[in-house]
């Protein structure tokens, strides 16, 4: 594990206000989800999950076919599909188009994929103004921070934090009433929408049979982003495809409930191409940027490619006892929580943060709430094995490797195991038979020390089970 990862976890755990903010906000989302999928409200919830899983499995296993079908249908609507293999290609395309169209101001609606490729930073580097229009994203852009959560990017900010950010960045009076804060942001953003030359959105689903981009949101900012400017660019990962328009229904029933506990989000937009003759609004040009950025590397892996089924609802974050303690910014990349722990090592390589797949108690709460039934603990276990293989190749972490070789040898030799057990027991004495608060040297290092930094150790019994069993005469 990197020192940076360790420090970020420590700092988050040590910040009492932040702990409360994360725990309260995720707790609310967690509870609302539970209500929204309760069997009296959604009796076919489990069937829907299985169905959604089957659709995603089929799509990912036939991704080439659906990409081509999608491209055909998008093109038929007068839009263009652009394939980008990485961050640089996305930025190059957007910059090139902005230059051709003389664009200066870009409005953006929420898109984790653009966070992946640092699009704002890249555009700003070239003198373009790129403004986030989702309220949470806007707050974070003003604060120069990355999203804390896939769905609720400013989850860690209290209204007092927001008041401070607005005062500092927007030069407005200190305002702590949330509705009034929203009005401040709206006033600024409305002008941006009207003046913007280009709009960049993400996509929740790409529908192959109709060539449609589906965007689900609550604030209406995505609708303005995609319809007010003359040019609309939708940026999406290739895994966002689903085969048919009718499949959208399955995901709509699951997405909002899993994400925020709403039965349906406020706006569901189905965008299929630029403005047609006679239509009163919509962009003049419509581009769909399909981003790989590491995704296609997952396709050959039978056990792990299910990571691409994710619909970015964030339910796994809200329910994860680890995320609820360490928050979003402890994670090494833009994706946090259980889903971040499985896609980051796969998109970025397992050595990017080798500690990441291990930062889990493998409790399985994530898999239980995943609307598309990704077996996250299973993928974590696979990744842990991948990390150890990579470490062995590089000759890293040798002591641990030796320790587990010894473990395997001891555990396959019962006599040695018994002796080792008795020896270990004698090294951590408990004078009064009570639980142990500290151990003498040389035991006060490594795992024993780590355990004792937080909890007491059980006293070793005077006899092991097998000794007791022999004593009573066995059987």
Partner 1 sequence: MGNRVSLFVTCIVDQLFPKVGMAMAEVLERLGYQVDFPEEQTCCGQPAFNSGYRAEARIVARHFLKTFEACETIVAPSGSCTSMVIHHFAELFQKDPETLARVHALEKRVYEFSTFLTAVAGVEDVGARMDAVATFHDGCHALRELGIKAAPRRLLAHVRGLELREMTPAEECCGFGGTFSVKFAELSGAMARTKLEAIERTGADTVVSLDPSCLMQIQGALSRAGSPIRTMHLAEVLASR
Point out which residues bind partner 1 (CB under 8 A): 1, 9-10, 13, 321-322, 325-326, 355, 357-365, 367-368, 381, 384-388, 400-401, 404-405, 407-412, 414, 417, 421, 424-425, 434-435, 437, 446-447, 450-451, 453-458, 460-461, 463-469, 474-475
CB of 36 to partner 1, least distance (A): 17
Q: How far is CA 250 from the centre of its chain?
A: 21
- Cβ-contact 237, 70 below 8 angstroms: no
Closer residue to partner 1 (CB): 229 or 357: 357
Q: In what order do the strands lie in the sheet with 267-271?
A: 241-242, 205-207, 212-217, 267-271
Beta bridge partners of 201: 234
CB of 119 to partner 1, least distance (A): 32
CB of 442 to partner 1, least distance (A): 17
Closer residue to partner 1 (CB): 42 or 381: 381
Choose among 350, 236, 312, 295: nearest CA to 60.
Answer: 295
Closer residue to partner 1 (CB): 9 or 215: 9
Match 């039934």 to its residue by tokens: 373
Q: Identify the three-state secondary structure at position 289.
A: strand
- Cβ-contact 133, 221 below 8 angstroms: yes
CA separation for the pair 441, 428 (Å, rounded):
10
Closer residue to partner 1 (CB): 141 or 360: 360
Choose among 445, 443, 446: nearest CA to 460.
Answer: 443
Closer residue to partner 1 (CB): 5 or 66: 5
Match 């903010």 to its residue by tokens: 21
Closer residue to partner 1 (CB): 270 or 451: 451
Q: Does the CA dihedral 249-34-311-124 come out positive or negative?
A: positive
Q: 62: which residues sit within 8 A by CB, 6+ positions away? A: none
- Cβ-contact 235, 203 below 8 angstroms: yes
Q: 238: which residues sit within 8 A by CB, 6+ positions away? A: 63, 67, 290, 291, 292, 295, 296
CB of 361 to partner 1, least distance (A): 3
CA separation for the pair 15, 214 (Å, rounded):
39
The torsion of the CA quartet 379, 383, 389, 391, rounded to 10 degrees, works out to -170
Closer residue to partner 1 (CB): 150 or 387: 387
CB of 384 to partner 1, least distance (A): 3
CB of 149 to partner 1, least distance (A): 18
CB of 389 to partner 1, least distance (A): 8
Does an H or E element contain 237, and which?
A: strand 231-237
Closer residue to partner 1 (CB): 186 or 352: 352
269-288: buried (b, 16+ CB within 10 Å) or exposed (e) per residue? Answer: bebbbbbeeeeeebbebbbb
Closer residue to partner 1 (CB): 282 or 421: 421
Q: In the numeric block, which tokens belong to residue 16?
A: 């009492």
CB of 458 to partner 1, least distance (A): 5
CB of 88 to partner 1, least distance (A): 33
Cα–Cα separations (whole angstroms), residue 28 to 70, 126, 190, 304, 324: 37, 40, 30, 31, 12
For 77-134, where are the alpha helices, taking DSSP H only?
87-101, 112-116, 119-125
CB of 185 to partner 1, least distance (A): 34
CB of 467 to partner 1, least distance (A): 8
CB of 468 to partner 1, least distance (A): 5
């Amino acid at each position: 594990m990197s020192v940076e990862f360790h420090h970020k976890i420590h700092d988050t755990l040590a910040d009492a206000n932040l702990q409360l903010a994360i725990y309260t906000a995720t707790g609310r989302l967690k509870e609302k989800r539970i209500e929204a999928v309760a069997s009296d409200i959604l009796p076919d919830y489990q069937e829907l999950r299985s169905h959604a899983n089957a659709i995603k499995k089929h799509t990912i296993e036939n991704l080439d076919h659906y990409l081509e079908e999608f491209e055909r249908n998008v093109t038929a609507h007068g839009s263009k599909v652009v394939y980008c293999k990485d961050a640089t290609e996305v930025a190059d395309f957007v910059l090139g188009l902005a230059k051709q169209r003389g664009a200066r101001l870009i409005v953006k609606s929420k898109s984790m994929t653009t966070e992946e490729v640092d699009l704002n930073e890249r555009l700003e580097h070239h003198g373009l103004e790129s403004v986030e229009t989702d309220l949470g994203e806007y707050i974070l852009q003003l604060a120069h921070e990355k999203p804390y959560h896939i769905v609720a990017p400013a989850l860690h900010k209290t209204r007092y934090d927001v008041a401070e950010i607005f005062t500092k960045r927007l030069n407005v009076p200190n305002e702590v009433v949330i509705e009034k804060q929203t009005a401040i942001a709206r006033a600024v953003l409305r002008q941006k929408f009207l003046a913007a030359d280009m709009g960049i959105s993400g996509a929740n689903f790409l529908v192959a049979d109709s060539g449609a981009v589906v965007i689900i949101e609550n604030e209406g900012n995505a609708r303005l982003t995609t319809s007010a400017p003359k040019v609309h660019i939708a940026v999406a990962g290739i895994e966002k495809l689903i085969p048919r328009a009718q499949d959208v229904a399955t995901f709509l029933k699951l997405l909002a409930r899993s994400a925020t506990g709403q039965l349906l989000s406020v706006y569901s937009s189905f965008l299929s191409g630029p403005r047609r003759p006679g239509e009163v609004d919509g962009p003049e040009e419509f581009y769909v940027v399909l981003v790989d950025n590491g995704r296609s590397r997952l396709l050959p892996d039978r056990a792990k490619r299910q990571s691409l089924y994710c619909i970015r609802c964030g339910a796994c974050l809200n329910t994860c006892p680890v995320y609820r303690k360490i928050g979003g910014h402890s994670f090494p990349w833009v994706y946090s929580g259980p889903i971040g722990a499985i896609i980051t090592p796969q998109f970025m390589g397992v050595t990017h943060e080798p500690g990441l797949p291990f930062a889990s108690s493998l409790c399985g709460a994530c898999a239980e709430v995943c609307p598309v039934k990704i077996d996250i603990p299973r993928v974590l276990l696979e990744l842990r094995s991948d990390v150890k293989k990579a470490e062995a190749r590089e000759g890293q972490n040798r002591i641990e490797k030796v320790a587990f070789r010894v473990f395997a040898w001891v555990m396959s030799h019962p006599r040695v195991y018994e002796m080792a057990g008795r020896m270990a027991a004698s090294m951590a004495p408990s004078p009064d038979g009570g639980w142990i608060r500290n151990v003498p040297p040389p035991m006060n290092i490594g795992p024993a020390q780590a355990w004792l930094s937080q909890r007491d150790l059980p006293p070793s019994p005077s006899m092991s089970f097998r000794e007791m069993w022999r004593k009573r005469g066995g059987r």
